[in-house]
Amino acid sequence: MIQQQGNRFFFNVDWITVLIYIALCSIGFINIYASIYNPDKAAAGFDFGSSYGKQLIYVITGLILGLSILLFDGRLFNVFAPFIYGITLILLVIVLFVGRNVGGNQAWIPLGSFRLQPSEFAKFGTALLLARYVSTFNPKFRDIKSIFIAAIIVLAPLMLIMLQPDTGSALVFLAFMFPMYREGLSGYFLLIFLGMIVLFIADFLVPTYILILILVTVGGLFIYANKRKQKIIISTVLVTLVAVGYLFLVKIAYTKVLEPHQRTRIELMLGLKTDNKGAGYNVIQSQIAIGSGQATGRGFLQGTQTKYGYVPEQSTDFIFSTIGEEWGFAGCTVVIGLYIFLLLRLINLAERQRSTFSRVYGYSVACILFFHVFINIGMTIGIIPVIGIPLPLISYGGSSLWSFTILLFIFLKLDSNRMGFI
Amino acid sequence: MDQLFNRKYIVQGLFIVIAIILLAKLFYIQIISDKAFLSAESNVLKKKYKYPARGAILDRNGKVIVQNEPVYDLMVIPNEVKPFDTLSLATALDITTDDVRKNLRKARAKSNYQSTPFVKQISVQSYARLQEIMYRFPGFSTQDRTIRHYPDSVAGQLFGYVKEVSNDDIEKSEGYYKPGDYKGKSGLERSYEEVLRGERGVINTVYDAKNTPQGSYANGKYDINAVSGERLISGIDIRIQKLGEELMLNKVGAIVAIEPATGEILAMISSPGYDPNLLVGRDQGNNYMNLIGNPYRPSLVRPIQGSYPPGSSFKPIDALIGLQEGVIDPNTTFNCPGYYMAGNHKVKCEHVDGNISMRKGIARSCNTYFCHVFQNLITRNGMKNQRQTYQDWRDKVAKFGFGSKLDVDIPFERPGYFYNADHYDKVYGKRWGYTTVISQAIGQGEITATPLQIANAMAIIANRGYYLKPHLIKAIGDKNQVKKEYIKKNYVGIDAKHFEPVIDGMQDAVNSGWGTAVLSRIPNIIMCGKTGTVQNPHGKNHSVFIGFAPRDNPKIAIAVIVENAGYGSIYAAPIASYMVEKYITGQVTGSRAAGVEWMKKQNLLPAIIDKTKKVKLTKTDSLNIKKTDSIKRIKDSLILKPGITSKSVVLKPIQSKPALVNNKPETNQK
Ligand SMILES: [Zn+2]
């Protein structure tokens, strides 16, 4: 009976996504093996105590975990969404107190030999609750109240993660803007967000008074062009004022709120600073490694830059530099191609859902993955400041791999149920 | 579905645009650009580490007592080695060709690709010879670094030693240490490792495909200069440290001298000691094993790890607490018939003085007097409340630093033990009182202390009521930083006025005709002190002296313990007096100088007997406490405790056997 039911569900699973999942995990395993590969000890055989050995165990257990999620009743995720969300919030609070300090933030809860990273699990908790909220109330995000509620759902875990402080993982939660956008949130929010980023960067490259001058001029011209329409004039004045205020806020926040190492990373990324002993070192070394890969790479295990510890955090956050060095531009294209194919497919899958819950959840999964991929790869090639978040399914680490597995397979389960009611 | 469906394309479009941006940047750095970063040809960066010099250590007068010497390691990268002339390399290094092959095999086993030591710490001559012929040995290179040198060859246990990090160290340091780094493993080298070690430097060199160096990478932009470790200033006066070690030659024991006003340790002798230079250089491993195997255990840091009953040196503290609690005043007298009766057992005294005052009681070390003081203290709240009153007394004594670590700045300090009421409950149930624990009165009961604790108690008396945490290092770095905890006065709860009468007695002990240490009087300096003879169940008694000098504005407080040496006045007191005189005046003068030489020649090392033999308890002479069976039970169980008490079983002397020198008091002084 159960077997039959299982078969029916498996039949509906999107196996293409599962194949891409397996491909990415394998790429991860191979490159973790390469990045800790020591030519001296090559003959030693397979070592389960090493990073690649552990990663293999994580991959296998991850796959088992994913497949067992497919056996669940999909409706449970909807029903238990608030509960799961609540647990992840509690874990995020606990980690602030009992967290083990790794690399300057309290991200890990030690559980015997295994360490749990609640910020990884908060992602699907939040995605589930957001999906539930949207599917229950169908808010369309036209009114302040629904935006406010959705913002609370997203910002609560975000703030707790900021307190660890783990800026990278917190930033990922901004990905939830996209599912909200898809469900009706005005496109202006995305534009404002984009504008904030542009102004933020501009604030460092151009003196503030020139920026203000430009803003006021543009605003003035705009008002002049629309001098008959009072509404537009008022909103333009408001926007200009807010933008100018924002510029000052950025300056203040920058000096008062950000930690010195975060400031350094931003300045390095913007090319304002060239001191590369400390923070710039990772990026420089990572880019040397990737750059030396050229078109087709040095070949498997032939990388020299990524051996001997030139690139720090080689198997975790900087795994992409191993891929770049040993597999070259071709390899990078394959990896990025796989990700993009996965992301586009997830969006397509999300759109074919009958239930709003599944669609919102699907969008959330795709956009979280997208943020991770963009930030991580962008960081290793120097177009984004160093923000330590893993490359999904490829970076070394159990917490990360399992949380992406859960994230993805819950969606696959929902998708396999798409014909039924959820 | 609805018009929102179209938003799908915007999201997907964004994904594609970002992917294109990532690929464009990758295309640029991987295919177009080859100048911005290391050219993609097959150039490789190699790191060469520059090891920092460890911080030097100076003594209190600015003399360098720990410094560095340059040495060179010959390194090899095995996979770069071409067939070479084994014989000429062996000749240059003063080793055999077999050694060359063996070392190369070892290096290969360690790593084929990384620079590994081939011969460590080669001589300057070898280094000079090698420089001329190095070009013939591709794959080999020299690495310069510094090793420790201890110019005075003393205080091995205090300085500790430095050793290459183990795999365990590397793992525990979470990436700080790398193979080849050195790290302090004991003593000051260990406790101040983080300030002494400095920062490792790196030189990045570009190599081409043929492995020839192409010069520094990016004009040295990413190189890091090595930063030397911080300099430490120690409170040690190396002159008296040296004198102390010489005086303690061929004796087992410890000396601790403290400057009372600051808590700075002036000297800390652990005997037998060893030359710290033995644990530097190529013979480190062998020498270390020899030290560990030595039956007199030179590796033990006796001043902080030895645990001795404080013995008679405990009496001034009895007096102080008695005065503070008001159970006696400076004029109180007790009758000493030559013994004290605690219930139906007898505590013997060395003399029959009749009515004896406190001042004289201290000077003459009268057991009877202090048993009475203790009796009054413990029974002052009534017979029924003895347990509670004992605990109160115990806590007051503990304020002097007994029973817990003083937290000195070298590792592995021991707290000693000091029974509280609960411990006695375990041994006796509820039925015990002052008579049961009377031996605590004379520092001979269920209390042991480290020599450091005993010296610190003396500093408290010298300061009239407080101490500063004893410490070896008084200032760190060029800015002479001082740890906050070292300038805090710790008061012991005794009013300053109670000290003078007690100090009177201690002054008499050394300076009056009836004192126990009058033979150790120092010309022109009033030293106050107290001898002690500590019962040793395993052999001859330990000789103890504690004291400070001068009486007013004391400059030095000292504790001396010589194991198996008999009466305190014979060995410990003169040793202390020489140390004090040397410290205050710079030299030991007159006939006393001959005493110093005599002392250095005395050999009091106990004979070593087979550990497998059973310990035979010997009745001791000076303090003959008749023990009840239950006291015996505790004592026996104490012997089984870890620490010096059980360890000294190994060092047990053979009673009256010829290996020992003549200990008769008459031979001591003229
Ligand atoms: Zn007496």
pLDDT at A327 over 80: yes
Query: B381 versus B548: which is more confidently predicted?
Result: B548
State the average pLDDT over residues A369-394.
87
pLDDT at B571: 87
CB–CB contact B112 A39 (8 Å):
yes
How far does the centroid of ligand 1 lie from the alpha carbon of residue B517, in Å?
A: 16
**For the domain bounded by B238-608+651-665, which CATH number is listed?**
3.40.710.10
Measure A65 CA to nearest chain B CA, in Å. Answer: 28
Query: B50 versus B528: which is more confidently predicted?
Result: B528
Measure A283 CA to nearest chain B CA, in Å. Answer: 11
* Pairing of β B542-549 and β B556-562: antiparallel
Burial of B15 (0-12, 13-18, 19+ CB in 10 A): buried
- Structure token digits, residue B294: 């030595």
**Cα B355 to Cα B98: distance, rounded to the nearest angstrom:** 82
pLDDT at B462 over 60: yes
Measure A37 CA to nearest chain B CA, in Å. Answer: 12
Unique residue bearing structure tokens 């890990």: A108
**Cα B577 to Cα B444: distance, rounded to the nearest angstrom:** 24
pLDDT at B243: 92
pLDDT at B626: 36
CB–CB contact B4 A183 (8 Å):
yes
pLDDT at A138 over 60: yes
Q: Are B339 and B356 in contact (CB under 8 A)?
A: no
- Minimum-distance CB partner of A40 among B10, B40, B113: B113
**Cα A331 to Cα A30: distance, rounded to the nearest angstrom:** 13
Confidence of residue A389 (pLDDT cuts 50, 70, 90): confident
How far does the centroid of ligand 1 lie from the alpha carbon of residue B335, in Å?
A: 8
- Structure token digits, residue B565: 């040496």
Cβ contacts (< 8 Å) between A363 and chain B: which residues?
11
* pTM given for the model: 0.58
pLDDT at B666 over 70: no
pLDDT at B451: 92
Q: Are B188 and B159 in contact (CB under 8 A)?
A: yes
For CA atoms A226, A231, A235, A237, give the dihedral sign: positive
pLDDT at B456 over 80: yes
CB–CB contact A324 B33 (8 Å):
no
pLDDT at B640 over 50: no
pLDDT at B387 over 60: yes
Measure A305 CA to nearest chain B CA, in Å. Answer: 7
Please report the residues numbered 346 through 405 in chain A whose beta carbons come closer than 8 angstroms to any beta carbon of chain B: 347, 351, 363, 366-367, 370, 374, 377-378, 381-383
pLDDT at B559: 92
pLDDT at B92: 85
Which 3 state secondary structure label does DSSP give B552? coil
Continuous H helices in B399-450? 421-428
- Structure token digits, residue B484: 């906050």
Measure B133 CA to nearest chain A CA, in Å. Answer: 29
CB–CB contact A336 B36 (8 Å):
no
CB–CB contact A332 B30 (8 Å):
yes
- Structure token digits, residue B227: 């930063």
State the average pLDDT over residues B551-568.
86
- Structure token digits, residue A143: 């009114």
Residue A145 makes CB contacts below 8 A (sequence gap 6+) with none
**Residue B355: its H or E element:** strand B354-357
> What tens digit of pLDDT does each residue of B612-639 get?
444 433 333 333 333 333 333 333 333 3
pLDDT at B126 over 90: no
- Minimum-distance CB partner of B45 among A310, A378, A383: A310
Q: Are B139 and B81 in contact (CB under 8 A)?
A: yes
**Cα B202 to Cα B373: distance, rounded to the nearest angstrom:** 68
Chain mean pLDDT for chain A: 80
pLDDT at A130: 93
Burial of B487 (0-12, 13-18, 19+ CB in 10 A): exposed
CB–CB contact A294 B16 (8 Å):
no
C-beta atoms surrounding B643 within 10 Å:
16
**For the domain bounded by B45-154+203-232, which CATH number is listed?**
3.90.1310.10
Cβ contacts (< 8 Å) between A343 and chain B: which residues?
12, 15
> What tens digit of pLDDT does each residue of B532-557 get?
777 777 778 888 888 998 989 999 99
pLDDT at A31 over 50: yes
Among chain A residues, CA nearest to B78: A40
The segment with the largest mean pLDDT, out of B131-145, B253-267, B597-611, is: B253-267
State the average pLDDT over residues B378-398.
86
- Total residues found in chain B within this entry: 670
A178 touches chain B (CB under 8 A): yes
pLDDT at B594: 84
What amino acid is encoded at B177 in this protein? Answer: Y
Cβ contacts (< 8 Å) between B33 and chain A: which residues?
291
Disruptive mutation site among B30, B47, B211 for chain A (greatest number of A CBs within 10 Å): B30
Among chain B residues, CA nearest to A277: B222
A344 touches chain B (CB under 8 A): yes
- Structure token digits, residue B517: 């240490």
Beta strands in B41-169 (DSSP E): 44-50, 57-58, 64-76, 116-122, 140-149, 162-164
Cβ contacts (< 8 Å) between B23 and chain A: which residues?
332-333, 336
Disruptive mutation site among A182, A288, A322 for chain B (greatest number of B CBs within 10 Å): A288
CB–CB contact B12 A347 (8 Å):
yes
Q: Which residues are registered as beta bridge partners of B143?
A: B73
Confidence of residue B211 (pLDDT cuts 50, 70, 90): low
- Long-range CB contacts (within 8 A, 24+) of B216-220: B217/B38, B217/B45
Q: Comparing C-alpha atoms, which of B433, B461, B520 is closest to residue B314?
A: B461
Confidence of residue B665 (pLDDT cuts 50, 70, 90): very low
Q: Where are the domains of chain B?
A: 2-33, 45-154+203-232, 238-608+651-665
Which backbone phi and psi does B164 adopt, to 5 degrees?
-60, 140
Residue B364: how many CA atoms within 13 Å on its side-chain side? 22
pLDDT at B560: 92
The C-alpha torsion from B148 through B150 and B154 to B157, rounded to 10°, is -20
CB–CB contact A295 B31 (8 Å):
yes
% pLDDT > 70, chain A: 80
How far does the centroid of ligand 1 lie from the alpha carbon of residue B442, in Å?
A: 12
Disruptive mutation site among A138, A276, A277, A292 for chain B (greatest number of B CBs within 10 Å): A292
> What tens digit of pLDDT does each residue of A199-239 get?
777 777 777 788 888 888 888 888 887 777 777 788 888 88
Confidence of residue B610 (pLDDT cuts 50, 70, 90): very low
pLDDT at B377: 87
Among chain B residues, CA nearest to A286: B37
- Minimum-distance CB partner of B31 among A329, A336, A347: A329
**Cα B500 to Cα B275: distance, rounded to the nearest angstrom:** 42
Chain mean pLDDT for chain B: 80
> What tens digit of pLDDT does each residue of B392-451 get?
888 888 899 888 888 898 889 998 888 888 888 888 887 788 888 888 888 887 888 899
**Cα B24 to Cα B470: distance, rounded to the nearest angstrom:** 66
**Cα B276 to Cα A245: distance, rounded to the nearest angstrom:** 67
Confidence of residue A11 (pLDDT cuts 50, 70, 90): low
Among chain A residues, CA nearest to B218: A276
Q: Are A146 and A136 in contact (CB under 8 A)?
A: no
pLDDT at B649 over 70: no
Per the rule left: phi > 0, alpha: psi between -120 and 50, beta: everything else, A72 is beta
Confidence of residue A102 (pLDDT cuts 50, 70, 90): low
B29 touches chain A (CB under 8 A): yes
- Minimum-distance CB partner of A291 among B5, B8, B30: B30
pLDDT at A276: 44
pLDDT at B260 over 90: yes
B30 touches chain A (CB under 8 A): yes
Measure B222 CA to nearest chain A CA, in Å. Answer: 6
State the average pLDDT over residues B528-534.
83
pLDDT at A348: 93
Gap between the terminal Cα atoms of chain A? 21
C-beta atoms surrounding B659 within 10 Å:
11
Among chain A residues, CA nearest to B18: A374
pLDDT at B255: 93
B224 touches chain A (CB under 8 A): yes
**Cα A396 to Cα A27: distance, rounded to the nearest angstrom:** 11
The C-alpha torsion from B173 through B174 and B179 to B184, rounded to 10°, is -10
| Alpha-carbon distances of A329 from B37, B66, B209, B221, rounded to whole Å | 16, 56, 22, 28
Query: B384 versus B255: which is more confidently predicted?
Result: B255
pLDDT at A417: 77
Q: Comparing C-alpha atoms, which of B131, B153, B157 is closest to residue B142?
A: B131
| Alpha-carbon distances of B294 from B182, B255, B281, B539, rounded to whole Å | 26, 21, 20, 20
State the average pLDDT over residues B488-514.
86
H and E: helices and strands count for chain B: 22, 22
**Cα B409 to Cα B471: distance, rounded to the nearest angstrom:** 6
- Structure token digits, residue B149: 């040198």
- Structure token digits, residue B591: 């006939």
Which 3 state secondary structure label does DSSP give A11? helix
- Structure token digits, residue A274: 């060239």
> What tens digit of pLDDT does each residue of A145-177 get?
888 999 999 999 998 888 877 778 888 898 999
Per the rule left: phi > 0, alpha: psi between -120 and 50, beta: everything else, A393 is left
CB–CB contact A340 B16 (8 Å):
yes
